[in-house]
Structure 1
Amino acid sequence: MTTSLLNQLSQIVGQAFSTIGIDDSFGKTSPSQRRDLGQFQCNGALAAAKQIGRNPREIAQEVVAELEKTGLFTELTLAGPGFINLRLNDDFLLGHISDLAEDSHFGCRSEHPSQKVILDYGGPNVAKAMHVGHLRATIIGESLRRLREFLGDDVISDVHFGDWGLPMGLLIKEIEREQPDLPYFDSDFTGPYPETSPVSVEQLQDLYPAASTRSKEDPAFLESARIATFELQKGRAGYRALWQHMRDISIDETRTDFDLLGAQFTEWNGEADTNDHIPEMMSRLKKEGFSRISEGAIVVDVAEEGDKKKMPPLILEKSDGAVMYGTTDLATIEMRQGQHDPDVILYVVDARQSLHFEQVFRAARKCHSIKPGCHLEHIGFGTVNGKDGKPLKTRDGGVVRLRSLIEDAIAEARKTVKESGMSERLDAEELDDIATKVGIAAIKYADLSNQRMSNYVFDLERFTKFEGRTGPYQMYAAVRIKSMLRKAMDQGLTEGLLQATHDTERNLILALAALPEAVKGATEKNAPNILCDHVYTLSQEFNAFYHECQVLGETDAAIRASRLRLCAITLRQMEQVLYILGIDVPERM
């Protein structure tokens, strides 16, 4: 299996260090910060000199002498106190990229052991329209899912629906207030219950805020909702039937948003799925001494020696018998362990939930709810802000619905597409498809290109432009290559062996060869922005090559065939990375 270019170079330079009696770890090589000095650089001589007490430049000179014997470099130079600059010969570079292109995953799987990964993201709630707060969880989570599948992992994606707890009791009592004669509220009714929901999803979205407000103003209503929640969780048939209606219509609504964003889930589990497991878990934790009573509540102590901040216990059951989010999250971990035996569980949730997840993860380990080797991680993220720098709101100060945000992006993209002159060449159906893809690409790339813990300003006009660091710019670069390859096919032109006759070709090849490091970094840091940087660099290098080198107009058949091959490799990698980012590339624009 093909290994990355940087790994190969580090091994080659490391061997040179080893030959002169110095540990090969000092041979680590990185891309050059000064392209005029070389393609790569190694700074290991300085660190080696400090460790063994020798002159760093003398060490570097000895290493260069060894590297010259390999015949793999056209240029080896020293700079400063012992920096080694390297420039590969074309045969080595072309051989590597040819091997990489033969690998359907561009060498990215060579160092990645396959794992079973559970990704928990999306997080919609019953009766609540998805809003801007769900945007990042969905986009980041979906990108990480695609990344892990690209690496060959067995990926389980779970939407983890918010469908349990007091909000359900509030809705039940609010519906009862408005429609008291429904059979769901008659404890003597034996069924069957109606097959269709007595409320629409639009009504639910009005009912919940009304119920929430009422609960703050009317203690008796709040108490009745708590009792309804308790009875629901204990299995009261009418409440369960009504709850199922609410859950089903809410899921149908959220599927539309997820489909627009291209998010795919293998499981549609929710908090309610833990209901039958919780008593068993609570009994075990009590029996094994992991839980205790504190002021009438059942808790698990999760503070550890060496904590620099106060770590409160995880509350599993309140004094009134109600279970908490921590309870359902811990039970979910236990169920996932039993059903899937995962190696990794990643939670893509707002950064403000970091304390909650720290408590849950500690409890899971302390209580043996998860196997010791399973990696648990909270993938936090910042907020989406308006141009005022504050979290994005509607004009009247309300929460921005996710559907509205997507529709606005597509509408803005439609304007951009029309202004570009595409409407003169393409029919209405294709224009609409392109506008949708551009709008979604604009949202996704804008979100993913930021370091995920950073907040960012949502600016649709800028995001939808076909220039700069935007999703549409990356799409356009890929479409340009598609157009060129179609013309080549129409002219009967074919690809051939790679050559390197111009520095822009070499720079493009080096950009292509950098994908394994980008994928590794994005995986280790759960940071899709690293892939955004990679595909942007690739677009830039391709555009430089495109402007400097003739392709279809090249008169030398061998060079033309080589450049067509380079274009095809670039397109395949570009489309692959954009797919991981959740961006679909149209056939033409």
Structure 2
Amino acid sequence: MQKIIDIIGKEVREAFEAKGYDTKYGVVTLSNRPDLCQYQCNGALAAAKAYKKAPLAIAEEVAQILKMSESFEKIEAAAPGFINIILKNEFLSGYVKQLSPENQFGCEKTQAPKTIVIDYGGANVAKPLHVGHLRPAIIGESIKRIDRFLGHNVIGDVHLGDWGLQIGLIMMKIKLEQPDLVYFQADYQGEYPSEAPFTISELEQIYPAASAYSKENEEFREAAKAATVELQNGNPGYRALWQHILNVSIEDLKKNYDNLLVDFDLWKKESDAQGYIPGMVEYLKQNNYARISEGALVVDVKEETDTKEMPPCMILKSDGGTLYNTTDLATMVERMELFNPDEILYVVDKRQELYFETVFRCAKKTVLVPEETKLTFLGFGTMNGKDGKPFKTRDGGVMRLENLIQNISNAVLDKILENRDMDRKDAEAIAKKVGLAALKYGDLSNQASKDYIFDLERFISFEGNTGPYLLYTIVRIKSIIQKYGKELAAADALQPGKTQSEVDLMLEAAKFNEVIEAAGNEYAPHKICQYLYGLANAFNSFYHENKILAEEDKEKQKSWISLITLIKGILETGIDLLGFEAPERM
């Protein structure tokens, strides 16, 4: 369905053309003075230079043509050369009538669907998720949902860290404590146990203990390095133990991501790329893309236009060992082979920008990734405490993500029970949904690249620019529709708006497709947050000005029910794209 701004823009461009001006000047935007008009065109200001004519004179000429249109209630040329536009209520309601869940509220699926791999999550096996894992998970999840809504084939990959020294440290710590386990017996020939020799709680204690011990015991650290190499070379006992670490970790990670309503299509791991490394290294050598520098194999990625230092991309260390660079490049090779994507998008801490620029340049320069495949780095900022520093627990530690989720749910639960007489189990179920909305909206309402302050009290407020406010608005609409009790009014029942609040609400509904398209193109969930907040405000203004259930004019009442049913659908679709859902009541 064509965007309303494009329909208006077409008429304005045709008016410019009719008066002998280039159509490029007929660009229409939302008004930055909504007290004066709904839309505006500033093209006469630019046209004035090209045609050596007063901008107001051009605006007046174009306005004369537009005044004959059936779409516009008021067209005004204003100094120094603006064209102010107010739509006819019949035109606006006619457009809004066409919006429905069946046509995604006017948001067409793309005619040129792309295959996009989104790398987000960033979890490591054997380590619990902490607050640092929040942003990549929820930003990546929202972008995945938006792109799918727009019709793209999107593949979300958690891409677990499972292949480095951390595994060697864990295995050697287990060996230190349980040396008789069969995994450490070189001559063992039988089946390895199907049950892991540890629980997730025990596993999460093993790694920090092993890491701390390695710093004070050089012999232990060297044994861990050797064990890592043996694992990578296929030691069967170590491989069996490593598989236990994976299984136990992934089961726990899935549970925690489920609590965030984050879902991955692929649970790929660093280790999955290992088989691609030998062939990739040989390819880089044979095609003279790589050179030896102080014993290491590197690819030069510096360009003549660079104004900053750009280090070479190291492929192999001087001892022949691999690095993150190696694994990430091999993962790209794997993704090209498996999916042939049009784009690979990485949702990663913005402090890694230089690293990813180096790897991307290497991938393109060596044609591991073809030129037409887009490699995108979406760097996110830090979630900070009220002191402006990275968010910590009260004792200065890094908070586990599950504890953060529970804390915010508990705070919402206290608020609900404080203000309402409700069964505790029901209240807990509601608090879980509202808490998640508070957490996700509090994050996503900020531009991804910006740092933001985690403010629990503000995030869980039922007023203002918050997730709970959106949910409260949806629940309010559900309650009205339920009390209305009759068969829901069809879209055809919608009448032209009679009051300013009704017209404003229709104007907000008409923007949905434009906002979603922009959010998808710009990887910008915050644009959806801004829009939903504006839509909720417009609804609540309308609600306070009009007694919907007490209205005696039944045709008008039907029209209002039709309108608010549409608004509910748009709000519910919007929060789904952000990755949370509304309860039935609050």
**TM-score, normalised on structure 1?**
0.97
C-alpha displacement of 1:389 = 1.1
Aligned to 1:308: 307
Query: Match for 2:168: what amino acid?
Result: G
Measured against aligned partners, the alpha-carbon deviations of 1:14-56 in whole angstroms (never above 9, x if no partner) come to 1111111111121111111222211111111001112222110
Q: Residues 124 and 161 of structure 1 are in contact (CA less than 8 Å); yes or no, is this contact kept in structure 2?
A: yes
Cα distance change on mapping 1:171 and 1:507 into 2, 3 Å: same
Within the alignment, does 1:144 sit opposite 2:143 as a pair? yes
Q: Distance in 1 between matches of 2:538 and 2:557?
A: 18
Contact 1:112-1:151 at 8 Å conserved across structures: no
How far apart in 1 are the matches of 2:267 and 2:579? 20
Aligned to 1:221: 220
CA offset at residue 220 of structure 1?
2.5
Q: How does 1:332-371 map to 2 (within 5 A)?
A: 332-371=331-370
- Cα separation, 1, equivalents of 2:191 and 2:68: 85
Shift of 1:228: 1.2
Q: Distance in 1 between matches of 2:526 and 2:171?
A: 43
Aligned to 1:498: 495
Partner of 1:476: 472
Contact 2:173 2:206 in 1 (8 A): yes
Residue segments in structure 1 that go unaligned for 5+ positions in a row:
none
Secondary structure, counterpart of 1:87 in structure 2: strand
- Contact between 1:498 and 1:566, CA under 8 Å: does it hold in 2? no
Q: What is residue 50 of structure 1 aligned with on the other side?
A: 49
What corresponds to 1:299 in structure 2? 298
What is the SS of the residue equivalent to 1:534? helix
2:442 aligned with 1:443? no
Does the residue aligned with 2:280 lie in a helix, a strand or coil? helix
Judge conservation of contact 2:157–2:264 (CA < 8 Å) in 1: yes
Whole-angstrom CA distance in 2 between matches of 1:109 and 1:292: 49
Question: What letter matches 2:447 in structure 1?
Answer: Q
How far has the Cα of 1:102 moved from its partner?
A: 6.5
Describe the SS at the equivalent of 1:285: helix
Deviation at 1:112, TM superposition (A): 6.1
Deviations 1:332-375 (A, max 9, x none): 11111111111111111111111111111111111212232111
Aligned-pair CA distance for 1:108 = 2.2
2:240 maps to 241
Aligned partner of 2:538 in structure 1 is 541
Q: Which residue, out of 457, 464, 467, partners 1:461? A: 457
Match of 1:530 among 510, 524, 527: 527
Deviation at 1:214, TM superposition (A): 2.7
> Residue in 2 aligned with 1:279?
278
2:200 is the counterpart of 1:204:
no
Distance in 2, matches of 1:206 and 1:262, equals 26
Q: Which amino acid aligns with 1:449?
A: S
Give SS of 2:524's match.
coil
SS in 1 for 2:159: coil
Q: For residue 434 of structure 2, what is the amino acid of its counterpart?
A: V
Q: Is the 8 A contact 1:296 1:318 kept in 2?
A: yes
Q: Is the 8 A contact 2:171 2:224 kept in 1?
A: yes
Specify whether residues 504 and 112 from structure 1 end up closer, same or farther in structure 2 by C-alpha distance, changes over 3 A only.
farther
CA separation in 2, counterparts of 1:171 and 1:80?
A: 72
Which is further off, 134-143 or 226-235? Answer: 226-235
The percentage of aligned residue pairs carrying the same residue is 46
**Inter-CA distance 557–327: structure 2 relative to 1 (3 Å threshold):** same
C-alpha distance in 1, partners of 2:354/2:153?
29
CA distance in 2 between partners of 1:36 and 1:306 (Å): 48
Q: Distance in 2 between matches of 1:224 and 1:102?
A: 60
The alignment partner of 1:393 has SS state of coil
Partner of 1:562: 559
Unaligned ranges ≥5, structure 2: none
> Are the aligned partners of 1:176 and 1:185 in contact in 2 as well (CA < 8 Å)?
yes
Q: Where does residue 9 of structure 1 map in the other structure?
A: 8
Task: For 1:301 and 1:187, locate their aligned partners in 2 and report how far apart those are by CA, in whole Å.
Answer: 43
User: What SS class does the counterpart of residue 348 from structure 1 fall into?
Assistant: strand
Question: Residues 515 and 528 of structure 2 are in contact (CA less than 8 Å); yes or no, is this contact kept in structure 1?
Answer: yes
Shift of 1:530: 0.5
Rounded to whole Å, the distance in 2 between the matches of 1:196 and 1:435 is: 36
Corresponding residue of 1:289: 288
Q: In structure 2, how many angstroms separate the alpha carbons of the residues matched to 1:133 and 1:305?
A: 36
Distance 1:25 1:555 in 2: 49
Tell me the distance in 2 between the aligned counterparts of 1:103 and 1:437: 26
The Cα offsets for residues 369-417 of structure 1, whole Å up to 9 and x where unpaired, read as 2232111111111111111111111122111110100010110010111
Residue-by-residue CA offset, 1:111-133 (whole Å, 9 max, x unaligned) = 66311111111111011110000
2:183 and 2:291 map into 1 onto residues whose CA distance is 37
Q: Return the offset for 1:281.
A: 1.1
Corresponding residue pairs, total? 584
Whole-Å separation in 2 of the counterparts to 1:101 and 1:76: 29
Cα 1:282–1:68, aligned 2, differ >3 Å: closer, same or farther? Answer: same
Aligned partner of residue 311 in structure 2, secondary structure: coil
Question: Residue 288 of structure 1: CA displacement?
Answer: 1.3
- Paired residue secondary structure (1:276): helix
Q: Which moved more, 1:112-121 or 1:509-518?
A: 112-121
Inter-CA distance 580–323: structure 2 relative to 1 (3 Å threshold): same
Superposed displacement of residue 270, structure 1:
0.6
The answer to whether the 8 Å contact 2:150/2:517 transfers is no
Which residue type is aligned with residue 514 of structure 1? K
> Contact (CA 8 Å) 1:124, 1:134: kept in 2 or not?
yes
Amino acid at match of 1:282: V
RMSD: 1.4
Q: 1-side partners of 2:142 and 2:179: how far apart?
A: 45
Deviates more, 1:279-288 or 1:98-107: 98-107
Q: Helix, strand or coil: the match of 1:298? A: strand
Which residue matches 1:397? 396
C-alpha contact (below 8 Å) 1:485/1:568 kept by paired residues: yes
1:163 aligned partner, one-letter code? D
The range that moved more, 47-56 or 236-245, is: 47-56
Partner Cα separation in structure 2 for residue 420 and residue 341 of structure 1:
54
Inter-partner Cα distance in structure 2 for 1:393 and 1:493: 49
In structure 2, how many angstroms separate the alpha carbons of the residues matched to 1:110 and 1:241? 46
Check the 8 A contact 1:230/1:322 in 2, yes or no: no
Give the CA deviation at 1:492: 5.5
Query: In the TM superposition, what whole-angstrom CA distance separates every residue of 1:473-527 from its partner, at most 9, and x where no partner exists?
Result: 00000111011111112x5674423331111111111111111221122112211
For residue 46 of structure 1, give the secondary structure of its aligned residue in structure 2.
Answer: helix
Amino acid at match of 2:497: A
Question: Is 1:452 the equivalent of 2:451?
Answer: no
Secondary structure at 1:118 match in 2 = strand
CA distance in 2, matches of 1:534, 1:378: 25
| CA deviations over 1:234-267 (Å, ceiling 9, x no partner) | 1111111111111111111111110000001111
Q: Which amino acid aligns with 1:448?
A: L
1:177-215: per-residue Cα shift (whole Å, max 9, x none)?
121111111222123111111122222222212222233
Map residues 78-227 of structure 1 onto 2, 5 A cutoff: 78-101=77-100, 103-109=102-108, 113-227=112-226
C-alpha distance in 2, partners of 1:210/1:313?
Answer: 35
Q: Residues of 2 paired with 1:64 and 1:492: CA distance?
A: 44
- 8 Å contact kept, 1:488–1:494: no
